[in-house]
Structure 1
Amino acid sequence: MMNADKFAAGVIRLRWLILISTVVIVALIASGATSIGFSSNYRVFFSHDNEQLVAFETIQNTYSKSDNILMVIEPDDGNVFSKETLTAVKDLTEQSWQVPYSTRIDSITNYQHTEAEADDLLVNDLVEFPDEADLDKVIHVALNEPLLLRRLVSPEGHVTAVNITVQLPQVSESETPEVVAYTRNMAKAFEAKYPDLQVYMTGSVMLGNAFSEAAQKDMTNLMPIMMLVIIVTLYLLLRSFTATLATVFVILFSVITAVGLFGWLGWTLTGPTTSAPTIITTMAVADCVHILVSFLFNLRNGMPKAAAMQESVRINLSPVFITSVTTVLGFMTMNFSEVPPFRDLGNTVAMGVVAAFFLSIFFLPALMMVLPISAKKQARNKSQAMQNLATFVIGHRKGVLLGTGLLAVALFAAIPLNQINDEFIGYFKKSVEFRKDTDFVGDNL
């Protein structure tokens, strides 16, 4: 207890040194964030020594490395075998050769159809000249050729596809976004040229890019919303603008520290790791609230500012430390995962939680001591409400224990209802363009 008192007194006494040192250290660490890249390669979900990945790459190294984009075309009239649609498919097939890193284009128009003529075997595009094509022959071949049916044309003949095989050099993380951006622009121009046709895009390249886009969109949209909710909630609960502002600083510095260290370690952002700031924010808020609630309570009960903060740090140092240590240990166990991004997530959150702990016991008290704060006495109804809750729990402890125990058993019994379902497509909401296009392709092709 005496050590905690001395520690709290030291933090208050050296507040300016702590504030300046914290800002300098966080700024230096933050510079590491400039080197962070975002990976849209689905291979990042497997360790380098993963047996399945090693076997897959062995096959690719032996033969060829390839990914694909599947562009599915749906005509408004529901017939892909009209001369107009075949002309459009042939046009898209030829344009697709301009897609960066494309190595092969497959469609019903350029399918190499072999037929005998006397003693000769003739190999030609199935649809070489759409205006002169024998539609009955095209339909017969397309709907009876296993390499085309349900791959590049539906059994009903209402949708068809152009498959673009790409071979990414895997030198830069910008390769996948480059391919996707070019293909989207090409599809947009195609739909403008042929307004009676709709294009849906899926494939391994689109999948990898969808993970990247979804994660970046979540970071851009959800973090500001979450911060706004936290700020409003903190202000309503603490009734102190200064305390709310100080908490926001701790949150930002905790996240910046974790992200900066992430960059200095040379790690690459993936879908799972983008959720780290959200988790770190939660822990930082919890640490701050522990200290601030006690501080404001002491202040509003007439204690001097320095004494109120010293007492708050003294009584909360041990609980905040224990909470932080157990949280760090919990997230560090994610290093046993076979999925590298989950290991990165656990380590990043652990670094952020450690940063939040030190910021909450050093930076937060120091900042609160230099910021102005009013100490209006609170009405007793709030304290009385908590007192009534405590009295109820203590007075009905057996009933509360029995009730929570039964609830826990009921929830435990529902565990077998959980299902393991690791379908990548299901990671995305049905409103996401990639999910909608992929579902359409799965239902129609």
Structure 2
Amino acid sequence: MSSPQLQANWVGRYADWLIRYRWLVAIGALLLAFVAASGARFLGFNNDYRAFFSEANPQLQAYEKIQRTYTKNDNILFAVVAKDGNAFSSDALAAVEEMTEKSWLLPFALRVDSITNFQHTIAEEDDLLVQDLVENASGLDAATLASIKATAIADPTLKERLVNSDGSVTGINITFQLPQKSMTETPEAAAAAQALMEEIEAKYDVEIYATGIILLSNAFFEASQSDMSTLVPLMYLVIIVVVFLLVRSVSATFAALLVIVFSMAAGMGLAGFLGIKLTPPSASAPTIIMTLAVADSIHILVSLFAAMRRGLSKHAAIRESLQLNMGPVFLTSITTAIGFLSMNFSDAPPFHDLGNITAMGVMVAFFLSVTLLPALMAILPVKSRASESKIGRSMDVLGDFVIRRQRPILLSGVIVSLALLAMIPRNEINDDFVGYFDESVEFRTDSDYINENLSGIYQLIYSLESGSANGVSNPEFLAKLEHFTEWMETQPGVRHVNTIGDTFKRLNKNLHGDDPSYYKLPEGQELAAQYLLLYELSLPYGLDLNNQLNVAKSSTQIVVTLDNLKSQELKAVADAGSVWLEKNVGLTAYGVGPAIMFANIAERNMEGMLVGTLVALILISALIGIALRSVKLGVLSLIPNLLPAGLAFGLWGALVGEVNVAVTMVTGMALGIVVDDTVHFLSKYLRQRRAGENVEDGLRYAFSSVGVAIVVTSVILIAGFMVLAQSSFGMNSSMALLTAICILMALFADFLLLPILLMKLDAKAYDPAIPTIENKEQNYATQPL
């Protein structure tokens, strides 16, 4: 028996077995899906922003080293805004004073800094007095309040950090030390902070805004929750409406919906069994799985109803649909899974999780599409429409149009493609962790307000080594520190530089009778060390110097506060600082912090995804070539599969021009998705070509037999990703929007470019003995059960 007959026999026997034991197949498939879905109980949310960085990420490693050396920088920054515009009124300062005291009680709070507990130093004869700048704010008179305001605005430690230049907004910075033993730590701290804000706003005539690393992490968590609660139900609605409008069958819509629901549930359940913790990118997996799962069902249902319209019985139509689609659906599922698995080359672990969860969901969808779906269709009552849809008739018209007008279509396509491809260089890498959230998110609006009215929210941290214990008191080292501080303050985008040098200068002035001329660095190391010891012994509990000095006092950290800069600008400032230190004072240090970590992630990710996309490309092209039994068509298929991503990035460059880490994922992911239509189109085309038909007839058959399914699946895919594009989380929305554009471009490529390429390059006749991925020799659809 020939190879095609063997293949036909296998699919035919499987179809007969499935129809005969349809109840057992349906129940068995559902039980397996339930078992897989049960792993969802192990799912949790990783709400730490560090989850976006691999353990090998050099910026994360450098940041963690500084975190271990000094007080942690995980914080919440409150901005207290007096409604009368004066943050130094008795009422506003009373609000700050009470909020400062209660902030110490927030879960995991380690340190609280504000203008009220700022350790103000003054000289009293030979003594150094260290005390809170504000005490009993509600009882202070106007002269005292004015003095406090003048002191706060003049102090370089506070200005543009905890108070703005005109004294209308002041800040409270809480530093946290999370044990990192529970996933509830960040939400717990954020919820307590929110409750404190509401309490103070209700008691005083102030408004409070909040930002910081703790709230950034919590915003990731809330974005995940929001997407799962809003986008998934919306996607259900889209799928139900589109599938029903296509098949006009309640039974078929119900069966397809079950496949989609259990594909999603099983994919997430398997992720739970694997111990994956959800983040905003991976939390979008349910929406993507639902979008992709419906494609398999559509191809099978479209072929089934087409066969029934030709007069076949329901069971015979099921058998024929499986014969036509088993191979293509399996191939498209494998290639889609490969595309998503290529995301494991990303430098950001959440995208590994997204790729792996989606790949598992896609393979579950294939399994359910060839078991549960046909079994349910065999069980449930099904009627087909008597006539072909308008879309079906339009496919015939489109096929004839492409064949007749191939030259102008090709010329127009080349011109448009070159124009869009030329726009790709306009894309600029820019990752902005505040910009990940749209303006409907409170964290985004509060961060923007604080950036504009109080202080920058991005920080660069440099750790400078003196080379010896207590070396930070060395006048030579302090001079280097001052030179770097003065230079850094002149750099574009720098709002504030927090350095221990300001403390030394203030102490030197205090211990010289508060003479302003002594506001400079101490001249001797021993004197400077004595100043520092005296000051440190006077500090209250919780306000030690570990936020600026290490335990041995051999190194100090400089915290540079920046405006909301673009990634390239931020990296330029950080690199310039390192170069200046090396060149001018002989110190080696690198600017670290969450902002610079996010600024580098897209570039690092792009390098990994270039390799991942190449691997996916090789595997997918090899699979297509093997399945189609044609190396030439396998290679040819790459053109309509690769071109859409290039066109999409070109259009993105023309309209948006900014690429974040999520957008760099699109090429590999989209490659796995858009190849589906090409595979289905080529499989139907080759069916006729290997039956002896010429190129034009093969194309007409492809348009008529699979054109409707390609249009509908593309519409559903675009709709699904457009639903995800409504996410308030910028990584997800950008990735989804660009993927939807890729799918749209792929639809034009498969309907316009691919047929013309086949007419130009595939004129040679085929040997009918060469097998394809479908059944060719026997029509089992007409055999009785």
Cα offset for 1:265? 0.4
| Separation of aligned partners in 1, 2:42 and 2:393 | 52
Residues 104-183 of structure 1: pairs in structure 2 closer than 5 A:
104-130=111-137, 131-132=139-140, 134-183=144-193
Alpha-carbon displacement from aligned partner over 1:143-178 (angstroms, at most 9, x marks no partner) = 121211111101111111111111111000000111
Mean CA deviation greater in 105-114 or 51-60: 51-60
Cα offset for 1:101? 0.9
Residues 161-310 of structure 1: pairs in structure 2 closer than 5 A:
161-194=171-204, 196-310=205-319
Alpha-carbon displacement from aligned partner over 1:373-413 (angstroms, at most 9, x marks no partner) = 11231256554322212211222122222223322222211
Alpha-carbon displacement from aligned partner over 1:176-208 (angstroms, at most 9, x marks no partner) = 1111111111111111111x2101011000000
Report what 2:481 is aligned to.
none
| Separation of aligned partners in 2, 1:430 and 1:174 | 26
Q: 1:380 to 1:443 in 2, by over 3 A?
A: closer
One-letter code aligned to 2:16: A
Alpha-carbon displacement from aligned partner over 1:225-252 (angstroms, at most 9, x marks no partner) = 1110111111112211111111111111
Is the 8 Å Cα contact of residues 9 and 310 (structure 1) preserved in structure 2? yes
Structure 1, unmatched stretches of 5+, are none
Report what 1:38 is aligned to.
45
Mean CA deviation greater in 48-57 or 377-386: 377-386
Query: What is the RMSD computed on CA atoms of the aligned residues?
Result: 1.4
Cα offset for 1:213? 0.2
1:420 equivalenced with 2:429 (yes/no): yes
Q: 1:84 to 1:243 in 2, by over 3 A?
A: same
Cα offset for 1:138? 1.1
Higher relative contact order (CA 8 A, sep 6+): 1
Alpha-carbon displacement from aligned partner over 1:338-358 (angstroms, at most 9, x marks no partner) = 111111111111111111111
One-letter code aligned to 1:147: T
1:15 equivalenced with 2:22 (yes/no): yes
Report what 1:49 is aligned to.
56
1:433 equivalenced with 2:467 (yes/no): no
1:82 equivalenced with 2:92 (yes/no): no
Is the 8 Å Cα contact of residues 36 and 267 (structure 1) preserved in structure 2? yes
Report what 1:4 is aligned to.
11
| Separation of aligned partners in 2, 1:322 and 1:398 | 32
Counterpart among 345, 356, 376 of residue 347 in structure 1? 356
1:96 equivalenced with 2:106 (yes/no): no
Residues 379-394 of structure 1: pairs in structure 2 closer than 5 A:
381-394=390-403
Q: 1:13 to 1:47 in 2, by over 3 A?
A: same
Q: 1:178 to 1:400 in 2, by over 3 A?
A: same
Is the 8 Å Cα contact of residues 32 and 263 (structure 1) preserved in structure 2? yes
Cα offset for 1:20? 1.3
| Separation of aligned partners in 1, 2:433 and 2:291 | 27
Alpha-carbon displacement from aligned partner over 1:279-337 (angstroms, at most 9, x marks no partner) = 11111111110110010111122111111111111111122122111111111111111
SS at match of 1:283: helix
Is the 8 Å Cα contact of residues 110 and 177 (structure 2) preserved in structure 1? yes
Mean CA deviation greater in 225-234 or 124-133: 124-133
Q: 1:303 to 1:317 in 2, by over 3 A?
A: same
| Separation of aligned partners in 1, 2:391 and 2:183 | 54
One-letter code aligned to 1:79: N
Percent identical residues: 50
Mean CA deviation greater in 291-300 or 384-393: 384-393
Cα offset for 1:16? 1.9
| Separation of aligned partners in 1, 2:389 and 2:332 | 30
Q: 1:166 to 1:203 in 2, by over 3 A?
A: same
| Separation of aligned partners in 2, 1:40 and 1:100 | 16
Cα offset for 1:64? 3.7
| Separation of aligned partners in 1, 2:246 and 2:264 | 23
Counterpart among 333, 339, 357 of residue 330 in structure 1? 339
Q: 1:341 to 1:381 in 2, by over 3 A?
A: closer
Cα offset for 1:38? 0.5
Cα offset for 1:276? 0.9
| Separation of aligned partners in 1, 2:419 and 2:156 | 52
Is the 8 Å Cα contact of residues 255 and 376 (structure 2) preserved in structure 1? yes
One-letter code aligned to 2:66: I
Structure 2, unmatched stretches of 5+, are 1-6, 455-785
Is the 8 Å Cα contact of residues 72 and 175 (structure 2) preserved in structure 1? no
Mean CA deviation greater in 126-135 or 101-110: 126-135
| Separation of aligned partners in 1, 2:418 and 2:290 | 31
| Separation of aligned partners in 2, 1:50 and 1:231 | 43
1:363 equivalenced with 2:372 (yes/no): yes
Q: 1:138 to 1:421 in 2, by over 3 A?
A: same
| Separation of aligned partners in 2, 1:376 and 1:163 | 67
| Separation of aligned partners in 1, 2:325 and 2:158 | 69
SS at match of 1:427: coil
Structure ID, larger Rg: 2
| Separation of aligned partners in 2, 1:93 and 1:419 | 42
| Separation of aligned partners in 1, 2:72 and 2:145 | 36
One-letter code aligned to 1:77: D
| Separation of aligned partners in 2, 1:320 and 1:18 | 19
Counterpart among 393, 398, 406 of residue 407 in structure 2? 398
Tell me the TM-score normalized by structure 1. 0.97
Alpha-carbon displacement from aligned partner over 1:112-138 (angstroms, at most 9, x marks no partner) = 000111111111111113223612321
Q: How many residues align?
A: 444
Counterpart among 451, 472, 492 of residue 442 in structure 1? 451
Mean CA deviation greater in 264-273 or 82-91: 82-91
One-letter code aligned to 1:47: S
| Separation of aligned partners in 2, 1:136 and 1:181 | 35
| Separation of aligned partners in 2, 1:5 and 1:20 | 22
SS at match of 1:98: coil
SS at match of 1:156: coil
Is the 8 Å Cα contact of residues 37 and 262 (structure 2) preserved in structure 1? no
One-letter code aligned to 1:52: Q
Residues 48-67 of structure 1: pairs in structure 2 closer than 5 A:
48-67=55-74
One-letter code aligned to 2:146: D
| Separation of aligned partners in 1, 2:347 and 2:318 | 45
1:29 equivalenced with 2:28 (yes/no): no
SS at match of 2:428: coil
Tell me the TM-score normalized by structure 2. 0.55
| Separation of aligned partners in 2, 1:404 and 1:310 | 39
Q: 1:381 to 1:274 in 2, by over 3 A?
A: closer
Is the 8 Å Cα contact of residues 66 and 168 (structure 1) preserved in structure 2? no
Cα offset for 1:55? 2.3
